A = this chain, B = another copy of it.
Amino acid sequence: MSKLNSVNPSNQALINGQPSNSLSVFDRGLAYGDGVFRTLAVENGVPNHWPLQYQKLANDCRALQINCPSQALLLEDISLLFGMNEHAVAKIIITRGESVRGYSYSADIMPNRILIKSSLPQYPASNSLNGVKLHLCELRLSHQPKLAGIKHLNRLENVLARQEWSDATIAEGILLDVDGSVIEGTMSNVFARFGNILLSPDLSQCGVSGLARERIINNAHVLNLEAKVQKLSLDRLMRADEIIICNSLFGTWQAIDFNGKKWSKQLLSEKLSALLQQKELNHV
């Protein structure tokens, strides 16, 4: 597997605003995955789409009854860790805080906020230009409506799914749920275009609702597309005019090779990537 992601000294972190690369072993993020995260680009000191990212972070914290730190604190952290001439990736992790053994916790538990800086991922230019090859994952996502949509720290399903391929020409794996419905990629969301309908899978039972997905859904009309969120079977996905995957770091890529079928490269992914780069878009 790639060594690109091995830890090197240029990776830096703040914990609760203090420079530190180490977290208490009593943190419930480690013990139980009891926390949430966001991943976003920071350009010249400015976190991309910050109000929307913070809104999702706060919503995810609320769903788990974690006290979300204020925007002001998180923005101060970002200004401390990211230089004004730097383009890099911020990962924000909010854990419930520290406790010793046991799933219960004190009412006055204090969350830990962790900010990690890493370099922008270096994806092959051909991913955007020519499209990508996708793997159909064998692992099926389980249904847990109480956690569905939340970007929480329980990501073993994603880890196991990512173990399924080592072929570097495969850019991403597509995950189905236990019922065989298409849900998402291991690190991305999925769209299927049928004519002028842009369909994204329903995530009420499982999956993570990324910001790029939501921004595309809310702004597809700009490209004369009608966005719909529906259950999506694999059979139906295979009949799509185009399959597009997205996340906040790479924008969008079109699938040209998936599950034994090939698609010719079209132009929607470029248009959607351009749309995602606009700073001011509708967000309902």
What chain B residues lie within 8 Å of A6 (beta carbons)? 99-100, 106
- Which A128-183 residues sit within 8 Å CB-CB of chain B? 139, 142-144, 146-147, 152-163, 178
A30 pairs with B30, CB closer than 8 A: yes
B144 pairs with A11, CB closer than 8 A: no
- A155/B154 contact (C-beta < 8 A), A1-B107, A5-B100, A6-B99 known: yes
What chain B residues lie within 8 Å of A3 (beta carbons)? 106
Question: A68 to chain B: closest CB distance in Å?
Answer: 16
B186 pairs with A157, CB closer than 8 A: no
From B1, B22, B163, B178, A25 is in contact (CB under 8 Å) with B22
Chain A, interface SS category: loop
When all copies of this chain in the complex are counted, the total is: 2
Question: A74 to chain B: closest CB distance in Å?
Answer: 16
B162 pairs with A103, CB closer than 8 A: yes
B139 pairs with A5, CB closer than 8 A: no
What chain B residues lie within 8 Å of A161 (beta carbons)? 103
Question: A88 to chain B: closest CB distance in Å?
Answer: 11
Q: How far is the CA of A209 from the CA of B233 in the complex (A)?
A: 34
Could you say which of A23, A30, A162 has the most chain B C-beta atoms within 10 Å of its C-beta? A30
User: Would you call A230 an interface residue if the criterion is a C-beta within 8 Å of the partner chain's C-beta atoms?
Assistant: no
What chain B residues lie within 8 Å of A5 (beta carbons)? 99-102, 104-106
**Chain A interface residues toward B at CB < 8 A:** 1-7, 11, 13, 15, 20-34, 37, 39, 64-65, 89, 91, 93, 95-96, 98-107, 114, 116, 118, 121, 139, 142-144, 146-147, 152-163, 178, 186-187, 206
